Amino acid sequence: MKPEKVVDFYSRLREHEPAPKTELQFVNPYTLVVAVALSAQATDVSVNKATKDLFKTVDTPEKMLALGEDGLKSYIKTIGLFNTKAKNVMAAARILIDQHGGVVPRDREALEGLPGVGRKTANVVLNVAFGEYTIAVDTHIFRVSNRTGLAPGKNPLQVELKLEKVTPPQFKQHAHHWLILHGRYVCKARTPECWRCVVNDLCAFKDKTPPPGALAKDVKAKGRPKRVSKAVGAAKGARRTKAKMKR
């Protein structure tokens, strides 16, 4: 996608959603780390349901250790892979206390050193909690970047690096949220809703989907082929045969 189109692309997303925010619920940087770690292979909705009561009483690494692994499981048991995630959250809390004074570090390498925290989670924390210009590439952003031609890549890291390169500075703060929300609600995996996409004409996706019911209306407008009665068909056939005999 050409630079001028990239600017137009982000401008339209910004106009549609001026101040995008993460849909994960959190109360401080630590609870954000926990929420994002729990969201791996799970929906934000399911995580929010599990952490709604948890974060009312547990909002620091110290309180998490006091709760204990079994206590945490009782809150997050509805989330996939909750056993593994509970262990990671507890291990991460211990490291934060022992190595960082119980404070979430504003450093990618340190964040990625926490159990259950990969590059994507670190990018989300740096962007949301600290305002860094990072772009966490999840399945939605990977799809949107490739489908639209904004930042094609074979893997999340390639897409991330390309997005950082092509995204103008004035859009980097919210680029992550604009793209993830667009992928989650408009540029969906199975059936993208191209008819209501604000960047439809800038998108490189060829097989754009029409509005619901558009195909049925088109067939109805054109009408079905008229049926020819057997009698009329037989008469036409007889005339053709007779004409051939005269030749």
- Asked if 35 and 51 count as a contact pair (C-beta separation under 8 A), the reply is yes
Q: Classify the C-alpha dihedral 205-207-213-214 as positive or negative.
A: positive
> What's the rounded Cα separation, in Å, for the pair 32 and 226?
64
Residue identified by tokens 């994507």 is: 120
Cα 86 vs. chain centroid, distance in angstroms? 25
Taking the alpha carbons at both ends of the chain, their separation in whole angstroms is 65
Which residue type occupies 22? T
- Asked if 75 and 50 count as a contact pair (C-beta separation under 8 A), the reply is yes
- Asked if 34 and 89 count as a contact pair (C-beta separation under 8 A), the reply is yes
- Mark whether 44 is an active-site residue: no
- Asked if 209 and 193 count as a contact pair (C-beta separation under 8 A), the reply is yes
Angle (CA) 25 62 56, round 5°:
35
Residue identified by tokens 């450093």 is: 107
Residue of 107, 138, 154, 222 marked catalytic: 138
- Mark whether 107 is an active-site residue: no
> What's the rounded Cα separation, in Å, for the pair 219 and 206?
22
- Asked if 72 and 90 count as a contact pair (C-beta separation under 8 A), the reply is yes
Residue of 120, 226, 230, 242 marked catalytic: 120
**What are residue 163's phi and psi, to 5 degrees?**
-65, -40
What is the set of active-site residues? 120, 138
